Structure 1
Amino acid sequence: MSAAAIVAGLASLMVVPTPAGAAAQVREYAYVANRNSNTVSVIDTATNTVTATISVGRTPTFPAISPNGTRAYVSNQDSGSVSVINTLTNRVIATIPVGTNPIGVVVTPNGARAYVANQNSNSVSVIDTAANRVIATIPVAGGPTLVAISPNGARAYVTTPNSSSVSVIDTATNKVVATITAGIGNAPVGVAITPDGTRVYVADLGSNEVSVIDTATNTVVATIPVGTNPTLLAISPNGARVYVANQNSNSVSVIDTATNTVVATITAGLGANPVGVALSPNGARAYVTNQTSNNVSVIDTATNTVVATIGVGSYPGGLAVGRVNVASAVSAVQPVTIRRHIKNKIKQTQGFGP
């Protein structure tokens, strides 16, 4: 076979067709940290089924998904590390040592950095996500537990339950620029920021309330009574509602951010000891981890009712919901497939003249 014939035969292999309905290739998944199983459950939110179970470090506690959906970062509390998961393959591609007892992790809006709260070493680790290594360690007193980043990426808010305060970090300098104590309740844990960046909501575990911080003044402007032992909370994408998981009253409080009042309390259908909560990107669903029933409740936010229950691993804690572009998996595999076909064609023609 001539060289020209080989090239002609390979021409069709070099054409990479554009998948029909490319938008359908973007899938939404929830990543759930199972503390006693040392695993992460991956839930396809379209079907409410677990599609993968990923082994990570010891006592995984909190996951965060990168803005582009290609990576999930999971804090491993008893390993002192963060596992980095490739969301296309659902495999751990890196393990990053951080401080002692890491709990909260969050990725900056530009995806360049991840901030990790190390409770027992009183520090926050800053990870360069391109290099998968710690580039700064910020001293934060009071047992830093969870962290949230402002929408513009300029500030990180860290709950410190041992001192009943919230530390504010300037992400440009990686230094604490404010410590908020007045108005913060006992043992603040969960923290979330409104989409416009003007308010921070903090779940005060020990005082059964949520504190609301004005980010312009770093002062508490409202205190909202909720259920017993509020742990984690999440804000809807439009900023209108806050969902608070109340661990010891087996309920979820729904707060109207316009009035800072509880407008609904969800109990029916929830499992035991709800701790984690995350909203879908379109705000239509809230996902709640039930720690001692080993499952996730799915709430329809239009009706505030539980519409599904998904079994996961043992003692689920934090969770994150995000979109993954599964079409990228095709483009990632395609060059390898082309090279394999080329290699096979060349082997078939070896030893033959023109």
Structure 2
Amino acid sequence: MKFKSLMTAICVLATANIVSAAPFAYVANSGTKNVSVIDTATNTVTATVALPDTQPTIHPYAYSVTVGASGQYVYVGLQDTNEVTVIDAATNAVVKRIGLGTDSPGGLAVNAAETRLYVTSNKSNTLIIINITGSGASEITRVAVETAAQSNPEGVVLSPDGKKAYVANSTTGSIAEISLDEANNVYTRTNLISLVNNTSPYGLAINSTGTKLYAASYNGTASVINTSTRAVTDLPVAAGYSVSVSADNSKVYFPAVGLDKIYVADGTADTVSATTYSVPGAPWGSAIAPNGKLYLAMYSGPDSVKVFDPTSNTVTSTIALPAGAKPISMGDFTGPAFNNTITATSVTNCTITPSGAIPVNSYGRTFSMTTTGTGVCNWVADATNTGNSGSSYAFATPVNADHAITAQFTAGTPYILTASWIATQGGWIVSNPAGINATSQSATFASGTSVILGVNDGSAYQVQAGSWTGDCTGSLSTCTVVMNANKTFGVTIIPKVIGGGPIYNATKSTYHQTLAEATGAATTGDTIKISTAYTTGGSTTGTTGVTVTLSGGWDQTFTTQTIPSPTSMGAVTITGVAVIATNLKI
């Protein structure tokens, strides 16, 4: 499997206007090298995002659009310049450019986690899968979408569970079904669905349950595909490049670019209404916003977006675009609804981007921070210093409440404290000030900071005596490190002994600290329980002829035994008593 580096450039606007909380539509204008941002609450253009023009002699033909599930990023496919541009929706700034080499982008799709971008290429006849985690981008692999020499793939959609992608082969009348194993980066074309009477499928849409796939057609009939049986039903709709499904799956809209009208299909009966609706101006792209209205990119005369209200079946608004815009917008170009707000506030020496009141949905968003001056910036989330001094921060998802994010600056040369611990029975080390924790074994602290280290839960775990290493020494339960250089430490964490000791004679109800002590006090028939916290081995003692049972795998209360999960006792010497051992590892 190949991993191919892609051209990536970061470009952040110095002055960024933060958007409001309304859902937005992002219209790719093929004729004016920009994207029009439309507030769907007011149906007005609130921003125009200039697309990269580093090759002024080549027109960056804005063709396809998709918006991530979080609404944080907008992805725009630029033909001729062969790249995908990524826009930060909070700042309307171009933050990433993903070069495709000789491949020209067709349709786009992005997974819910926004770690994988799927791009159809009608030059290489493939679906290109790109890792877009973090600030970079790299090609993972590509999948051939047809057996024919050239199928000109266009639209692509993902199933709601993210396990399949569907690609429209526009010149061979077929749909490629591709299985997606993102965890293992395994992508395989599993089926090729022939549409027979749909000879030119372009745009695709899938209903919210993933049971029906719809394909628009410029020639022949449109199609609805049962994704379980792959049975195809023809729909008497033609001359269209896009298709949109209502949120409740009851209606399917097919704009006919060549006929200046909209066809409406029943999402349950798979039939097309005899009534069509006039929309002069060549409706090319289409998308349904969270408000339930259909937004139509009108390719010709005049350059605009028309808003079709399915309740009244009329165009209720016409939104003017730049002269010569020629909007196309292949794909779902409307963003999600936002239910909450994260208020981000920069402080002196710590600049957070984006800042202000940032609308979010359950997917949240990632914030970045830059530090100026000599010192450390820690993220402060909801008034709590997280101890996290990393360059980015995101609240745990799902985000279902308002939050606040800011920073705290501590002056001084920054030094890194690196941890390494062994905790076979659970537990971890935490630091005060915060920074070291279960998920972060390194943290940055300002020069002169005294960092106190200890176990996360002192009632359940303890530091094994004498196990501190590196810049921590001694046998105490905590360690203090003064950060005057980069430092490291190691430690072993063991379950805390509960009661009188890690060994319990269940017959006599007595606790013991060592194996020798327990067996020396035992009589024939006694059952001695060994907790998982006992790992120091030792020797048995006691009277010859006495037989005892040693039983391992017990918790610290000696009420629960896990089998098979033996107590690893270490080296044991058997003398004196005879031993029957169960669930022990020596």
TM-score normalised by length of structure 2: 0.51
The partner residue of 1:110 within 103, 107, 113 is 113
Alignment partner, residue 73 of structure 1: 75
What is residue 565 of structure 2 aligned with on the other side? none
Describe the shift of the 1:89–1:42 C-alpha distance in structure 2 as closer, same or farther (beyond 3 A).
same
Change (3 A) 1:87 1:217: same
How big is each residue's C-alpha offset from its partner over 1:232-252, in whole Å with a ceiling of 9 and x where there is no partner?
A: 011111111111110110011
TM-superposed deviation, 1:112: 2.4
Q: Which residue of 2 aligns with 1:96?
A: 98
Structure 1 stretch 242-251 or stretch 99-108: which is displaced more? 99-108
Task: Tell me, in whole angstroms, the C-alpha distance in 2 between the residues paired with 1:63 and 1:87.
Answer: 13
CA distance in structure 2 between the aligned counterparts of 1:338 and 1:125, rounded to whole angstroms: 41
Report if aligned partners of 1:271, 1:295 keep a CA contact under 8 Å in 2: no
Q: Which runs of 5+ in 1 are unaligned?
A: 1-23, 347-354
Unpaired segments ≥5 residues, structure 2? 1-18, 53-59, 352-371, 374-408, 410-586
Per-residue CA distance 1:282-304 (angstroms, 9 max, x = gap): 42x10001101211110111111
Q: Give yes or no for contact 1:296–1:310 (8 Å, CA) kept in 2.
A: yes
* Structure 1 segment 1-354 matched on structure 2, within 5 A: 26-57=21-52, 58-98=60-100, 100-131=103-134, 132-133=136-137, 134-141=139-146, 142-172=151-181, 173-207=186-220, 209-220=221-232, 222-226=233-237, 228-263=238-273, 264-267=275-278, 270-283=279-292, 285-293=293-301, 294-313=303-322, 314-318=325-329, 320-323=333-336, 330-331=343-344, 334-336=345-347, 339=350
Q: Secondary structure at the match of 1:146?
A: strand
- Name the residue aligned to 2:526: none
1:305-348 alpha-carbon deviations (Å, 9 max, x no partner): 100000124110016111375976741xx1246858x99xx9xx
- Give the equivalent residue in structure 1 for 2:404: none
Q: Please state whether the residue corresponding to 1:213 is helix, strand or coil.
A: strand
Q: Which residue in 1 is equivalent to 2:391? A: none
Q: CA deviation at 1:271?
A: 3.4
Distance 1:71 1:231 in 2: 24
The structure-2 alpha-carbon separation of the partners of 1:276 and 1:49, relative to structure 1 and needing over 3 Å to count, comes to same
Paired residues of 2:173 and 2:195 also in contact (CA < 8 A)? no
Contact 1:168 1:179 in 2 (8 A): yes
Question: Matches of 1:71 and 1:339 in 2, distance apart?
Answer: 23
CA contact (8 A) 1:88 1:324 kept: no
Do 2:37 and 2:48's aligned partners in 1 also have CA atoms closer than 8 Å? yes
1:70 and 1:100, CA in 2 relative to 1: closer, same or farther beyond 3 A? same
SS in structure 1 of the partner of residue 154 of structure 2: coil
| TM-score after normalising by structure 1 | 0.83
Change (3 A) 1:26 1:75: same
- Tell me: CA distance 1:262–1:290, structure 2 relative to 1, closer, same or farther (3 Å): same
User: Do the aligned residues in 1 keep the contact of 2:215 with 2:222 (CA within 8 Å)?
Assistant: yes
SS in 2 for 1:47: coil
Aligned residue type for 1:40: V
Query: What's the CA shift string for 1:252-286, capped at 9, x where partnerless?
Result: 1111111212234110xx23111111001242x10
Partners of 1:337 and 1:240 in 2: CA distance: 53
Alignment partners' CA distance in 2, 1:198 and 1:325: 27
Separation (CA, whole Å) in 2 of partners of 1:36 and 1:137: 30
Instruction: Confirm or deny: 8 A CA contact 1:65 1:322 kept in the other structure.
Output: yes
Return the offset for 1:174: 1.3
Moved more, 58-67 or 116-125: 116-125
CA distance in structure 2 between the aligned counterparts of 1:72 and 1:122, rounded to whole angstroms: 24
Q: Is the 8 A contact 1:182 1:219 kept in 2?
A: no
SS state of the match for residue 22, structure 2? strand
CA distance in 2, matches of 1:25, 1:315: 27
Q: CA RMSD in A?
A: 2.3
Farther-moved stretch of structure 1 (177-186 vs 41-50): 177-186
Q: Shift of residue 143 of structure 1?
A: 1.3
Q: Secondary structure at the match of 1:171?
A: strand
Change in Cα spacing, 1:177 to 1:25, as seen in structure 2 (3 Å) is same
- Which is richer in helix? 1
Looking at structure 1, the residues matched to 175 and 75 of structure 2 have their Cα atoms a distance apart, in angstroms, of 23
Deviation per CA, 1:57-97, whole angstroms, max 9, x where unpaired?
Answer: 51011111110110000101111110000000001101001
One-letter amino acid of the counterpart of residue 224, structure 2: V
Counterpart of 1:18 in structure 2 is none
Contact 2:173/2:196, CA 8 A, preserved across alignment: no
Aligned residues: 312
1:51 partner letter: T
Structure 2 counterpart of 1:211, one-letter code: S
Q: Distance in 2 between matches of 1:43 and 1:182?
A: 35
